Amino acid sequence: MKLFRVTYFQTLLVFIFFSTAVTGCTAETIVAAPVQADASAGVTIYAAGDIAKCDGSDVANSGAAKTAALIAAALVSDKNAAVLTLGDNTYPDGLPKEFSSCYGPTWGQFKDRTYPSPGNHDYNTPGATGYYEYFGDRAGPARRGYYSVDVGKWHLVSLNSNLNEKEAKAQLDWLMGDLGQHKATCTLAYWHHPLYSSGGHGNNKVMRAVWEILHAAGADLVLVGHDHDYERFAPQDAQGNRDDKRGIREFVVGTGGASLTMVGWRKAHSEVSGNADFGVLKLILRDRSYDWQFMSVSGDTSGDHGTGQCH
């Protein structure tokens, strides 16, 4: 993967304060036991979106099978590691048969260690029924597509970027309540549509209000998919201003196996981008910091990697 770097000066800082009580909403967490681990060693997370493509080709040799093999090999030696999906779990339509015949034989082998999020292709089936039927309780309560879970010392929030206006407002209310009740030192949120992207779909403002809430609460990382490439941004606020003190670092990881697409003109604060290979993002979530590494299915060890501190 070719790496590129650009730097911009911080221009804006926004503060919003929350209380643990938010009128009209109750924070709920997913029905799953928190993952425990030694704080110094951290907990390892593997993440990607845009995963299983059901196009009639050999599933065993698909991109999803190759990225799944990376993760499965790592999970064998790490009982505390977990997996995040960043939407568009199957293609083209999120049908139940796509989950059973294409996702199941690949990423489904570690379903019990996966915390998913839905994408627009999952919703090509009305109500994303294939997605919710396949993941069940792991997709969160009431088929709304958002929930939270504690992993090690980190608070993880899975959100839904495919909601109508009324549903999106309910998600915002829930998110404020959830973050108010879970005042973790380190917070990671993930969903499908990127607020910032140099890929073919570009920036998507649908989750700007979510970013504002996360930024005000001191969240550290956002993981997204949708564009079928890999990209890392410098910490930013919801208006696209560089914010090294309180900004959120975004990773676009649409390299889960479905296909790879072009990277366009680089957006402001994009530090690394590439579309050379399928792969997954490996994160080691420590007590007050995180390490990242893009793992390519080709075994290329020159991929993007680094470390960051929680706010």
Q: Give the start-end residues of each E strand in 131-276.
A: 147-151, 154-158, 186-190, 221-224, 230-233, 249-253, 270-274
Query: What is the mean pLDDT of the segment spanning 106-120?
Result: 98
Query: What is the mean pLDDT of the segment spanning 54-59?
Result: 93
CA distance 197 to 309: 23
Query: What is the mean pLDDT of the segment spanning 150-162?
Result: 97
According to DSSP, the β-strands at 249-253 and 270-274 are unpaired
Q: Cβ(146)–Cβ(176) under 8 Å?
A: no
Domain boundaries, the chain: 54-309
Q: What is the 3-state secondary structure (H, E, C) of 252-263?
A: EECCCCCCCCCE
pLDDT of residue 117: 98
Q: By percentage, how much of the chain surpasses pLDDT 70?
A: 87
Q: Cβ(186)–Cβ(155) under 8 Å?
A: yes
Q: By percentage, how much of the chain surpasses pLDDT 90?
A: 82
Q: Give the start-end residues of each E strand in the chain.
A: 43-48, 52-53, 82-85, 90-91, 114-115, 147-151, 154-158, 186-190, 221-224, 230-233, 249-253, 270-274, 279-285, 289-296, 305-309
Q: What is the dihedral of CA 10, 16, 20, 24, to 10 degrees?
A: -130
Residue of 161, 247, 164, 244 whose CA lies nearest to 204: 161
Fold of 54-309: Purple Acid Phosphatase; chain A, domain 2 (3.60.21)
pLDDT of residue 22: 34
Cα angle, residue 113 at apex, residues 175 and 221 outer, rounded to 5°: 40
**CA atoms lying within 13 Å on the CB side of residue 17:** 1
Question: Which residue in this structure is represented by tokens 């499965």?
Answer: 72
pLDDT of residue 40: 62
Question: Which residue in this structure is represented by tokens 């065993």?
Answer: 60
What are the pLDDT digits (tens) for 59-85? 999 999 999 999 999 999 999 999 999
Least confident of 19-33, 45-59, 207-221, 264-278: 19-33
pTM for this structure?
Answer: 0.88
Cα angle, residue 113 at apex, residues 143 and 29 outer, rounded to 5°: 45
Q: Residue 65 CB: number of other CB atoms within 10 A?
A: 21
pLDDT of residue 36: 46
Could you tell me which residue, 265 or 293, shows the higher pLDDT? Answer: 293
Which helix (H) or strand (E) segment holds residue 74: the answer is: helix 63-76
